[in-house]
Amino acid sequence: MKRILVSSAMALSLMTVASAQAPPAYRLGTFQVQSHTFVGIVLNDALVIDFAAANAAIRTPASRVTAPSDMKDLIGRYDTGLRDRIVEVAAFVRRAVTTGRPAYVFDLAAVKVMPPVMYPTTMLNVAVNYREHDVEMARVRDGSPGQAAPTAGNALPGTKSAPGIWERREGDTRWNPYMFLKAPAAIVASGEPVRLPPQRTQIEWECELGIVIGKTASRVSVERAFDYVFGYTIENDMSDRGGRGDTRYGTDWLVGKNRDTFAPLGPFITPKEFVADPGNLGITFSLNGALLQKGSTNQMIHRIDEQVVYASNLLTLRPGDVIATGTPPGVGSARTPPVLLKAGDRMACSYNGIGTLTNPVVASDAPSR
């Protein structure tokens, strides 16, 4: 895995006055130093605290909780003591770095960034959840039966509720949500390469906000949906548009979405208390420094809370599960001419207040790192 490069000057920013663009009080992630993997507290996107080591070392006040074994454990116990302990540890470290850095604190550049959750039990992705993305994709794929033109997210005549899954409210003109499974086996970390599958030439990106589930959720109401959200991360929903060579059973989501390395995730999780309005976050995606996607989460067809409702009516969600919420317009296959990924490319997917997920693109036969 390629380390995320961060200027050493960023560590000094812990001492500066916070600005409107400052990171939240902390983010959370999973990291590795040599062969030691640990849950870490990220300060100012510059320093990483080994939470378990700090929890054992800091005796003022002494720890009243057991350190988490992994991110799923942290998420599951966040509201029963771990949140308060994280706040205590972060405050202690901010004071301590003025006189000397504890051994359990590292520069971000000195650790290996792992996927923040290793690994979700369930990953769900929302298909075509931005109106302009619906319009652009109509140029490169067949529409639904009876669809003569792009609908920009509006339902076709005769669309009905899906009993027990999604009830259409009076006056709702949108189509019903559509989700598909993304294999946790496809996850790679920020900085890790996305590998182009052999002989596949139509590979592209989709820059998406990831909802991280905080507690077991089954058939939740829209009014309570955010109670089940722990925080937010980023997923790059990689796609193979080359098809399977026949039309058997329609779209093949396994071939199109679930190849090795097709789910870059991270780099960190931002707890929901630090995201004032997840429905109004700016989005950018750059390829080799060129801006190709720009939008806002306020352009979603189905909101974050509605996605949690729909997903929890399909299956039970568990702490650490992830729902990727769709992508704004600007994907490569919909461009004229198409922009498709090649070895040597570098992708950067950003959501304001959440972070930036970066991944290089390599050929299938490139040496492993």
- Residue 17: which pLDDT band, with cuts at 50, 70 and 90? very low
CB atoms within 10 A of CB 24: 17
- In the chain, the domains with their CATH numbers are 9-114 (2.30.30), 123-362 (3.90.850.10)
Q: How far is CA 301 from the centre of its chain?
A: 18
Q: Give Cα 221 to chain centroid, integer Å.
A: 23
**Spatial separation of the C-alpha atoms in residues 137 and 144, rounded to whole Å:** 12
Unique residue bearing structure tokens 């002989």: 199
Question: Which of 6, 13, 15 minimizes the C-alpha distance to 96?
Answer: 15
The total number of residues shown for the chain amounts to: 369
**Residue 289 has which token pair?**
């420094």
Segment holding 361, helix H or strand E: strand 355-362
Q: DSSP assignment, residue 341?
A: -
Residue of 264, 269, 266 whose CA lies nearest to 356: 266
Cα distances (angstroms) measured from residue 82 to each of 64, 85, 179: 9, 5, 32
**Model confidence pLDDT, tens digit, residues 310-358:** 999 999 999 999 999 999 999 999 898 999 999 999 999 999 999 999 9
Has residue 4 got a pLDDT over 50?
no
Assess contact for 41 and 91: CB atoms under 8 A: no
Query: Is the predicted pLDDT of residue 146 greater than 80, yes or no?
Result: no
pLDDT average, residue stretch 219-242:
97
Using the predicted structure, report yes or no on whether residue 187 has a pLDDT greater than 90. yes
- d(C-alpha 213, C-alpha 321), whole Å: 5
Q: How much is the pLDDT for 139?
A: 63
DSSP state of 187: E
In the chain, the amino acid numbered 132 is E
- Distance between CA atoms of 271 and 74, rounded to whole angstroms? 12
Segment 18-72, tens digit of pLDDT = 334 567 999 999 999 999 999 999 999 999 999 999 999 999 888 889 999 999 9
Nearest C-alpha neighbor of 111 from the set 16, 3, 202, 233: 3
d(CA 185, CA 118): 10
Q: What is the pTM of this model?
A: 0.91
Beta carbons within 10 angstroms of residue 263's beta carbon: 28
Query: In percent, how much of the chain has pLDDT > 90?
Result: 78
Task: Give the 3-state secondary structure of 112-144.
Answer: EEECCCCCCCCEEEECCCEHHHHHHHCCCCCCC
User: In what helix (H) or strand (E) does residue 40 lie, and over which residues does it extend?
Assistant: strand 36-43
Residue 10: phi and psi, rounded to 5, are -65, -30
| Residues 247-288 pLDDT 10s | 888 778 999 999 999 999 999 999 999 999 999 999 999 999
Q: How far apart are CA 115 and CA 353, in angstroms?
A: 18
Question: Phi-psi category of 256—alpha, beta or left, where left has phi over 0 and alpha has psi -120 to 50?
Answer: alpha
For residues 260 and 12, give the distance between their C-alpha atoms in angstroms, rounded to a whole number.
Answer: 38
Residue 28: left (phi > 0), alpha (psi -120 to 50), or beta? Answer: beta
Integer-rounded Cα radius of gyration of the chain? 21
Mean pLDDT of all residues in 113-129: 97
pLDDT, residue 79, reads 97
**What is the DSSP code (8-state) at residue 235?**
E
Please give the single-letter amino acid code of residue 6. Answer: V
Predicted local confidence at residue 150, as pLDDT: 60
- What confidence score (pLDDT) does residue 8 get? 32
Kindly state the DSSP code that residue 197 receives in the 8-state scheme. Answer: P
